[in-house]
Amino acid sequence: MSSREVVVLSVGGVRFVTRASTLQQFPESRLARMLNDDDREFKLVNGEFFVDRDGALFSYIMDFLRTLQVSLPTDFSDYQRLQREAEFYGLYPLADLLSQEHLLKPRLEILEVRFSLQEMQTFFRIFGSCSTTIEALAEQITVFTGQQSGQGWNSPFPSQKPLVPLPLERPSHHDMVFLCGIEHSADDQFVARYVSIQPDNRKLINGTNVLGLLLDTLLKDGFRLISTRTVVGEEKVECYTFERMKRAAGLTITVNQTPGSSGVAQARRSQVQKGK
């Protein structure tokens, strides 16, 4: 890499080293014009551009220029100050996104697991404030069913026939229902329902074991157990309530170079999912 391609900036005393092409992502920004000595705000001192601005916030500016994505910590709160910095540098697509901080802030997500044990069957119902989380969890959970005679129902896989996967019941976008265990049917036959929760490959028929695996899966996915309670009515229902801070979807700026635009970047906003 030649020396002309390397640019050193000292922003509020914090030193940054980057490529010229990175600073030119938005050709009409002040950072791009700086390279042509076209902005007196930026002083070239001993081969480094000196800028009397906030160096800590400039690290987010640099991350944006390198990735064209807005990625902020969950505890970030200086949206207005960062927006002001983006406006100073002439990065108006970034400033526009920061003005809509509700799109960037993480939000509290609540999830509740209801568990009811009835004789040889266990009923599960999962409610979630975020429909995408419920959708992702539903893709991890599979219920398998198979018929068998009453003499050997308690063995792990008593039926010689392949187990058939069943779709989960989805009363709404925010909840799902499934059950496991043994149900007696006609002709001295039993219907067995096994539950598998990926990435664990086991097929579990015991409701307590399924509950343990489900709770462990949620904890590994970043949820925190905040309360347990028991609701006693016609049937006894145990309720487990979880919460987590869900990171906002990553926001991406797409730069389009169009004929006749003199190299001016046109920006549009799109959202990409960053995780569950």
Residue 210: predicted pLDDT: 96
Contact 192, 158 (CB under 8 A): yes
Q: Is 183 inside a domain boundary? A: yes
Write the CB contacts of 36 (distance below 8 Å, at least 6 apart in sequence): none
Q: Is 220 inside a domain boundary? A: yes
* Among candidate residues 143, 199, 134, the one with its CA nearest the CA of residue 171: 134
pLDDT greater at residue 43 or residue 101: 43
* Mean pLDDT in residue range 245-258: 57
Q: Is 251 inside a domain boundary? A: no
Instruction: Give the span between the Cα atoms of 181 and 203, in whole angstroms.
Output: 11
Q: Is 1 inside a domain boundary? A: no
pTM of the predicted structure, to 2 decimals? 0.61
**Is residue 272 very low, low, confident or very high in pLDDT (cuts 50, 70, 90)?**
very low
* Mean pLDDT in residue range 238-267: 60
Task: Work out how many domains the chain is built from and give that number.
Answer: 2
Residues 119 and 234 in one domain: yes
Task: For residue 236, give Cα distances in angstroms to 93, 117, 227, 233, 264.
Answer: 54, 8, 17, 6, 65
147-191 tens-digit pLDDT: 765 554 455 545 456 789 988 999 999 999 999 998 876 666 788
Instruction: Give the span between the Cα atoms of 233 and 216, in whole angstroms.
Output: 27
56: pLDDT strictly greater than 80:
yes
Q: Is 10 inside a domain boundary? A: yes
Residue 74: predicted pLDDT: 74
267: pLDDT strictly greater than 70:
no
Residues 130 and 218 in one domain: yes
Instruction: Supply the range of the domain harboring residue 67.
Output: 6-104
Number of Cβ atoms within 10 Å of the Cβ of 54: 19
264: pLDDT strictly greater than 50:
no
Length of the chain counted residue by residue: 276
Question: What is the percent of the chain where pLDDT is above 70?
Answer: 80
Token pair belonging to 205? 């028929």
Residues 95 and 13 in one domain: yes
Residue 252: predicted pLDDT: 60
